[in-house]
Amino acid sequence: MPPSDPPPLLSLTGVSRSYGERVALRPLDLALAAGRCIAVMGANGSGKSTLLRIAAGRDAPSTGHVIYAGRVMSQDDLVVRTEIAVVGDMVSAYPDLTVREHLELVAVAHGAGRDRDELVDRALAECRLDDHGSALPGSLSSGQLQALHLATMLVRPRRLMVLDEPEQRLDPARRRWLGELLHAEKQAGAAVLMATHHVELAAAAADHVLVLSEGAVAGQGAPGTALAALAALG
């Protein structure tokens, strides 16, 4: 990052991850400041999700360390759970809770009080789910379920957002909306770390693109430069 950038909120130094003999992520460094967005790109199996899980405090690196807000991040850290919004590894939903109730649950778990209803209404409207507030998850399309997962981060406080392929299953209009949303979040001061396969989304939201290939950094830089490196990888 250029020297004029603010101090990083999240920094990874020499972080790698192995599962038995399989190396999922080779040692890499990464620094992300508030109000900035890094997009991680690369083919399937290149280590994007592993990197994001470590950055979100959901997995421990095999080597190296992760510093969040000035202190070494540990797994299941309470501050991490309070400040980092994660979207990507939610695979299920309570079959008996409505869309609104899911959001209420997350809002309350993050300390929402009287403003709960307002927060939920705003998130439903933002994610174009206001007609589906009383729907059960089983009746939603996969794109609407993804919108629900994105809505969960809007009803909670967030300093850092870790998003694993947030564009998946969204139609083109919603993908454009997602780009605008991430841009707005960034402007408001959130740091965003996102894995994506969508070049337009990366170009719209990211300040920096990191390209991974077989667990190692294959290229990085401003979106234009790095996306060219990605194209060269095929």
Partner 1 sequence: MTVTREAIAVPDSTGPTISLLRELRRGRGRQRAASAAYWAYLIGLAVALYGGSEIAAAFHALRQPPAATALTVRVSHAAPAGLAALALVVLLVLLRDGLWRGPVTLPQVTVDWVLGTPVDRGRLLRPRFRASAAVAVLAGAAVGIVPAAALVGLGLLGGHGSGSVLRLILVAMLSTALLFGFGTGVAAFVERSATAARWVRRLTPFACALAAVLGGLAVWAAVGKPPSVLSAIAVWSGPWGWTVPGMTALAGGSARLWPAAVALTGAAAVAFLVLGFFAAAGVPGAALRVRARTIGAMSAAVLSMDTRGVALAYGGRASGRRARLRLRPPRRRELVLLWRDLLALARAPSRLAGAAALALIAVGLVAVAGPGGHAALVPVASALGLGYLAAAWLCEGARLDAEDTRRSENLPFRFERLAWWHAGVPCLVLLVVAGVPAVAASVVTGSARFVVLLAVTVPVLVAGALVNVFRPRHHPDLFGGVETPVGNTAAISVLLWFVWGPLLAVVPTTALLISALGPSRPGVLARTVVVAIGLAVGLCTYAAVRARRLRSA
Which residue lies nearer to partner 1 by CB, 14 or 111? Answer: 111
Which residue lies nearer to partner 1 by CB, 126 or 199? Answer: 126
With contacts defined by CB under 8 A, how many residues of the chain interact with partner 1?
Answer: 49
User: Would you call 29 exposed, middle or buried from its count of C-beta atoms within 10 A (0-12, 13-18, 19+)?
Assistant: exposed
How many angstroms separate the CA atoms of 105 and 108, rounded? 5
Among 111, 142, 228, 232, contact with partner 1 (rule: CB under 8 A): 111
Amino acid at 61: P
Three-state secondary-structure class, residue 32? strand
Within positions 75 to 94, which residues make up the interface with partner 1, using CB under 8 A? 75-76, 78-79, 81-83, 86, 89-94
Amino acid at 36: R
Within positions 159 to 188, which residues make up the interface with partner 1, using CB under 8 A? 159, 185, 188
Within positions 183 to 222, which residues make up the interface with partner 1, using CB under 8 A? 185, 188-190
Pairing of strands 63-68, 71-72: antiparallel
How many angstroms separate the CA atoms of 168 and 182, rounded? 15
User: Would you call 48 exposed, middle or buried from its count of C-beta atoms within 10 A (0-12, 13-18, 19+)?
Assistant: buried
- Does 105 bind partner 1 (CB under 8 A)? Our answer is yes
CB of 125 to partner 1, least distance (A): 15
How many angstroms separate the CA atoms of 5 and 205, rounded? 17
Which residue lies nearer to partner 1 by CB, 116 or 225? Answer: 116
Positions touching partner 1 (CB under 8 A) are: 18-22, 34-35, 58-60, 69, 75-76, 78-79, 81-83, 86, 89-94, 96-97, 101-102, 104-112, 115, 119, 155-159, 185, 188-190
